[in-house]
A and B are shown apart, each in its own frame.
Chain A
Amino acid sequence: MAASASIIPSNATATAKFRATSTAATTPLSPPSVLKFPSISPNYPSTKPLISHSALPHFQHKPLSAVTPPNASSTPPPTATASTFHGVCYVVGDNLDTDQIIPAEYLTLVPSNPEEYKKLGSYALIGLPSSYQTRFVEPGQFKSNYSIVIGGDNFGCGSSREHAPVALGAAGVAAVVAESYARIFFRNSVATGEIYPLESEGRLCEECRTGDVVTIEVADNKLINHTTGKENKLKPIGDAGPVIEAGGIFAYARKTGMIPA
């Protein structure tokens, strides 16, 4: 995957996510059933600056002038309330159930305990079968190199364990883009404010590959894959948006006066 490697200068003072990008170029890609290499659009400029010099945990990043118009605030705050997400994506298939996101043996960790919250992050997606050759969180790490998860249908099905969106959030995931969601997982994502659950138009999980660098513009309902040069439409977040922006159901309930501040 030489084409992709050339985009990333070798002297990049990259955060871990870019090591992941170059690694992804040489390892088999997920979803496991397909071995495809991302095609680089010939129109895509090869000198695009993908290096983030910031140490921000969430991948807020100067907009790429060749691809997207400059954002009004060029250095967004490092929280999930920003309307832009940028980072390396990890792709999973359909029916990604919560046992795979966080296996039962780790549910003794109580998320409201900060130490245990952090530990949960280290186990995010550890339940994926071995056909997924790229690990989501490296052994010994607490956070993932991937801040965006791309999934298929019925993402988050199975057990109601809220530890699932929490583990993803603790691992540094800012947003999930799935074709559709199971209801309890979606509800838990919105209620906790841990991850931004977006829906794609069509099978994004077949168009993107683990390691692709993507930008999500929530307000414009679009996802830009810098590695392939393609843009994909997303569905508007709808009524759940204000709850997520507020930071979850309690913050929202206070904001709207449903419970005392």
Chain B
Amino acid sequence: MASSTITSPPTPLINKKDAGLSAFSSQASFSVQKSQKRVCKKIVSVMAPQQSERRPATTGSVKTGMTMTEKIFAKASEKSQLSPGENVWVNVDVLMTHDVCGPPAIGIFKREFGENAKVWDREKLVIIPDHYIFTADERANRNVGILRDFCNEQNIKYFYDIKDLGNFKANPDYKGVCHVALAQEGHCRPGEVLLGTDSHTCTAGAFGQFATGIGNTDAGFVLGTGKLLLKVPPTLRFVMDGEMPDYLLAKDLILQIIGEISVSGATYKSMEFVGTTVESLTMEERMTLCNMVVEAGGKNGVVPADSTTYKYLEDKTSVPYEPVYSDEQARFLSEYRFDVSKLEPLVAKPHSPDNRALARECKDVKIDRVYIGSCTGGKTEDFMAAAKVFLASGKKVKVPTFLVPATQKVWMDVYALPVPGSGGKTCAQIFEEAGCDTPASPSCGACLGGPRDTYARMNEPQVCVSTTNRNFPGRMGHKEGQIYLASPYTAAASALTGYVTDPREFLQ
């Protein structure tokens, strides 16, 4: 059966070229929204002009080179060769779901496969309650119960359950934010296919695998069959070279990219991140990079696996894996090059992740609060980064500063790991001395607003600098809330001044 069932809409692959974006050649075959362009000409100058597509060998018997993503698709669909645009049935290695989308997906699974149907593989499903956990909302609590009943019924191996909402530490299985938990628990492996009922499932691409978000109906389908029909995406390549300045984090890199190509610049495409800078990034930083691929409309993000990846996975998984890498002659839709040394700390201004601006140019923006958390900016290294800024300043924050560790592990690190240069202090101690709020119970928290009683939810029209991933109207609660997306460095610096602040104010 070769007919394509689910395909992308016939998009107008016209390059709506804006004169200000000199980096886009006429080859760029994705639509860039004129209305969303926020080009800062100063930053454009660091990007080298796009290179043309590399042509593969043209003798008939030579196989066309494939990109990493194409290779993963080929392996998962048991084909030796395929090209972007093809629709193939892929075998799913891991399916993840959480408390918001799990119950609907389960409902669909039972409706379509029968009340007594069994999931395709009880070890390949990972169920992670994380979205609406520490709340009195009855339906939210009921939904965790639905997950529990299903896991008991199906004898699901990986269910990170929580029962005692008053004390998260009393729940030995509970982890927290799904994307961070997947990595920490060893479910992300190079070369595999990981699907999740959450748009930020693309985070796992940091491990050199194909990872993307799907809806409840697709998930219901996977639950029953272990397969999904997916279209092979073409790949955009982002080459980042140079030594990472000590005031920049991966968040700045991805905000740079999204600001460049817009919130629909990577729609239906894969984003591949390579270069010496990427190679120097830790796994958590690579996760931050891939996390926001969806904010550019991307289908998935990938970072080639290397020794950093293997080291991270050493103590986390014993499942054998086989990394794949883009061929020399692989064809990319476009290539973008960055000299990282020329980049500066950024923010995404309200109300779009592509509304990019230099942090220092927003120094007159008065803020009401700072939020440090989520899969994007609530990992151990994100808190270490924030602590570094508070330590360098030695002063107290001027606005309420909310800290929500992504997982139990992160929370423990915040309270246990010494911060370099602090004489043995932990992040928690530094945060306390700086007057931040006490680190909260790990979950998605207020990144997406949530039920009204969610900790740190924005219930008034305030201005917030946040290490999260989206700032569309109403994202964190109040429709008139103004959210500036930023790195943990920038968020901490802003907390100290009460204005949007470039972290170099404290780090240099």
Contact = CB atoms under 8 A, between A and B. Distances in A.
Interface of A: 94-95, 97, 99-100, 103-105, 107-113, 127-130, 152-154, 157-163, 180-184, 186-188, 190-192, 197, 199, 201, 235-236, 238-240, 242-243, 248-250, 252-253, 256-259
Given A129-B479, A130-B479, A249 B217 contact: yes
A105 B35 CA distance: 29
Contacts of B139: 108-109
Given A127-B473, A183-B268, A110 B1 contact: no
Nearest to A189: B215
B197 interface: yes
Contacts of B267: 154, 180, 182-183
A93 to B, nearest CB: 8
Contacts of A108: 100, 132, 137, 139-140, 142-143, 451
A160 B111 contact: no
A250 B132 CA distance: 29
Interface residues of B, number: 67
A190 B221 CA distance: 13
17 contacts: A108-B142, A110-B103, A110-B104, A112-B103, A129-B479, A153-B31, A154-B264, A157-B297, A159-B198, A160-B198, A160-B213, A162-B215, A183-B8, A187-B6, A239-B6, A249-B218, A259-B224
B12 interface: yes
A interface secondary structure, majority: loop
A113 to B, nearest CB: 7
Interface in B216-268: 216-218, 220-221, 224-225, 229, 263-264, 267-268
B2 to A, nearest CB: 11
B474 A127 contact: yes
Contacts, number: 188
Interface string B205-221: 00000000111111011
Contacts of B474: 99-100, 103, 127, 129
B33 A153 contact: yes
Contacts of A109: 139
A99 B472 contact: yes
Nearest to B141: A108
B172 interface: no
A186 B9 contact: yes
B343 to A, nearest CB: 25
Interface in B137-154: 137, 139-140, 142-143, 146
